[in-house]
Amino acid sequence: MRRPAGRLPMATATIAALCLVSLSVLAQTKTPGTSANSSRKDNAGAAEPSTPAVPRMSDGHPDLSGVYFPGPQDPDKYALGALNGPNRKFAREFEKPSFQPWVQEKAKLMGSDLERADPEIGCAPPGGPGFFYKGNYAIKMMQTPKELVILSEIFTTYRVIYTDGRQHSKLEEIDPLYMGEAIGHWEGDTLVVDTIGVDTHTWVAGLLARPFFASDVAHYTETFRRPNLNHFLYQFTLDDPKVLSKPFTSPLATYSYSSHKPITEYYCTYNPDIDSLYPAAKIPRTATGADERYFDEQEYEVMSKKYNSK
């Protein structure tokens, strides 16, 4: 398995990420939208009055194009690695999602060793929001008036967000995609991205509040902001009426622009530890034989009636 120098290997990144779960949980930010909707705490250190203004496209919207590295500090002046270090990209800890009762019961069936159950170990893609919340990996964005293309070091993959005014397809007509169907529009200087149709075979953004799977009706509202030349801010809210009792909002993730550092490739071809960490024979199964780690419609129908009615 190849990985960029200075980045954490995926299994190590998983262990490091899990360390955050034990930290104290702070108050949740407001629902993302325009820059005025983000808490002052989330924005601390991100917008510096002395830094050059954000570049703009010919249509007047901020130009998000560029290579960005995790954390609010200059990527040339720190070493990538610790998710908990002084240059951490999160302004606060992850709040525990408000799971429905049936989900809490399902979590018990997934087994106690959730670190080894992480789909990432088997090289499963992290999904759209996972670009920004998985480990310490750089991203590159290329913007035109009609779309925003994001290239990610993690799994050397890409994502396309359409900004040409199109409407969503009907949910039942969308073939599930790890990146989902993402359509964006501008609200002032904030790009608001509406994402549906995300494949259920991934955990939500590789979040640190495990387990956290999403259902087939998961609806993400993401915000992309570049308050100045040097910083990019990302946040999302997930509304999933089959899994959550109320929407979940992530902490703000801060990335720093680099004028010359490139992204590199990281192919998750095979984790040599996967057989010993989580052999297929030990994968927890639902009553119908499906993988217990993901959302399952049949299980949802049975368990939600049983546990949500209590």
CA-wise closest residue to 189 among 47, 40, 28: 47
Q: How far apart are CA 200 and CA 241, in angstroms?
A: 14
Residue with the larger pLDDT of the pair 51 and 239: 239
Residue 294 within any structural domain of the chain: yes
Residue 1 within any structural domain of the chain: no
Residue 4 within any structural domain of the chain: no
User: CB count, 10 Å around CB of 59?
Assistant: 9
- Letter for the amino acid at 42? D
Residue 274 has a pLDDT of: 55
Does residue 86 have a cis peptide bond before it, meaning omega lies within 30 degrees of 0? no
Count of the separate structural domains present in the chain: 1
Q: What is the DSSP letter of 90?
A: B
- Residue 145 contacts residue 59 (beta carbons within 8 Å): yes
Burial of 166-191, coded b for 16+ CB within 10 Å and e otherwise, reads eebeeeeeeeebbbbbbbbeeeebbb
Using the predicted structure, report yes or no on whether residue 174 has a pLDDT greater than 70: yes
Using the predicted structure, report yes or no on whether residue 296 has a pLDDT greater than 80: yes
Residue with the larger pLDDT of the pair 69 and 206: 69
Q: Which of 8-17, 172-181, 219-228 has the lowest mean pLDDT?
A: 8-17
Residue 19 has a pLDDT of: 36
Residue 17 has a pLDDT of: 38
* Rg, Å, the chain Cα set: 19
- Average pLDDT (16-41) is 36
Residue 66 within any structural domain of the chain: yes
- Residue 144 contacts residue 61 (beta carbons within 8 Å): no
Q: What is the mean pLDDT of the chain?
A: 77
Give 36's pLDDT tier (boundaries 50, 70, 90): very low
Q: Tokens standing for 197?
A: 């149709």
**Residue in the structure block whose two tokens are 């622009």:** 257
Pairing of strands 253-258, 231-239: antiparallel
Q: Tokens standing for 75?
A: 């990527």
Q: Tokens standing for 246?
A: 């109320």
Residue 261 within any structural domain of the chain: yes
Domain of 95: which CATH number? 2.40.128.20
Prediction pTM value: 0.75
Residue 3 within any structural domain of the chain: no
Q: Tokens standing for 241?
A: 């009426």
Pairing of strands 231-239, 181-187: unpaired
Residue 217 belongs to domain spanning = 10-44+52-307
Residue with the larger pLDDT of the pair 292 and 61: 61
> Is the CA virtual torsion 130, 133, 134, 137 positive or negative?
positive
Residue 2 within any structural domain of the chain: no
What does 240-270 look like in DSSP terms, one character per residue? -TTTBSS-EEPPPEEEEEESSPPP--B----
Residue 5 within any structural domain of the chain: no
Q: How far apart are CA 187 and CA 180, in angstroms?
A: 21
β strands within 65-218, DSSP E: 66-70, 139-143, 147-152, 157-162, 181-187, 190-196
Tell me the backbone φ, ψ of residue 282, rounded to 5 degrees. Answer: -100, 5
